[in-house]
Amino acid sequence: MLVVLKESAKEVGREAARIVASSLRANPKSVLGLATGSTPLGMYEELIALHKSTGLDFSQATSFNLDEYLGLAPDDPQSFHYFMHSNFFSKVNFAADKIHIPDGAFRKDYSAYCEQYERAIRSAGGIDLQILGIGRNGHIGFNEPNSSLASRTRLKELTQETIEDNKRFFPQGAEIPECAITMGIGTILDARRILILATGKSKAASVAKAIEGPISSSVSASALQLHPDVTFIIDEDAAYGLTQRDYYRRVLELTKKYTPEKLT
């Protein structure tokens, strides 16, 4: 597990975008796993800037988003569909038929629908690079505490904490969805490479548990310790609870010296 400490949220976005861009240049047909929320916004801004300034090409890439709220149609301004289109897809040259986001308006056989999402990931060849944020309760995707570490894409009940945290994205008084469709922890762990981003003091406790705590379904992100290629990119505030910060800096320096390919 690589821990990359950055001075600011802006630097986190820039570093994540640099890695996404370099994967895409190495393999224009990359399959990207994408996240919503406030944390990856800086990364999307940087990728849009790279698309405009250097012609970074998304036309052959495929994407799978982690999750979507249950009950929200794609054109609902609070949906993750809307978020992805307004903050990213509409500003780069992603092919519409290569974008996949779980359908939150779906109201019938959820498990068949979720199995179909899993199949679509497999038929695209699996996810090459998965981008994640982390919740204050340690969730990745909407895998709330006590999700099975082997879970697959499914309908998941949101915790009150997550509902409260995400209220800020909804108009005052609006009903907040109580469930979501989310990739499972097992689905996420199948990705070839994982980048997890965290910024701000409110994430310090969950970041520390994810990186230095025991692997536990109480902190979904701790399951990432089982994956051989995970990079945490975090700012100073989110790194606050880590006890081994100096060692992580040293690992990064030595990685630059001996195995720089791990950082591209």
| Other CB atoms within 10 Å distance of the CB of residue 72 | 19
Sheet hosting strand 154-157, strand order edge to edge: 67-69, 179-182, 154-157
Q: What angle do CA 202, 204, 207 make, to 5 degrees?
A: 120
Choose between 30 and 39: whose C-beta lies nearer to ligand F6R. Answer: 39
Active site residues: 67, 137, 139, 144
Instruction: Compute the least distance from the CB of residue 155 to ligand F6R, in Å.
Output: 15
Instruction: Compute the least distance from the CB of residue 145 to ligand F6R, in Å.
Output: 12
Q: Tokens 């994205």 — which residue?
A: 169
**DSSP 8-state secondary structure symbol assigned to residue 143:** B
Choose between 75 and 164: whose C-beta lies nearer to ligand F6R. Answer: 164
Which residues form the interface with ligand F6R (CB under 6 A)?
35-39, 66-67, 133-135, 139-142
Distance of CA 221 to the CA centre of its chain: 11
In a 3-state reduction of DSSP, which class is residue 22? helix
Instruction: Compute the least distance from the CB of residue 247 to ligand F6R, in Å.
Output: 26
Choose between 81 and 108: whose C-beta lies nearer to ligand F6R. Answer: 81
Instruction: Compute the least distance from the CB of residue 37 to ligand F6R, in Å.
Output: 3
Distance CA 43, CA 143 (A): 22
State the residue number with the nearest CB to ligand F6R: 133
Instruction: Compute the least distance from the CB of residue 131 to ligand F6R, in Å.
Output: 9
Give the residue from 152, 202, 159, 203 showing the smallest Cα distance to 177: 159
Choose between 30 and 65: whose C-beta lies nearer to ligand F6R. Answer: 65
Q: Counting beta carbons within 10 angstroms of the beta carbon of residue 96, is it exposed (0 to 12), middle (13 to 18) or buried (19 or more)? A: exposed
Choose between 231 and 261: whose C-beta lies nearer to ligand F6R. Answer: 231
Please count the CA atoms within 13 angstroms of the CA of 77 that sit on its side-chain side. 4
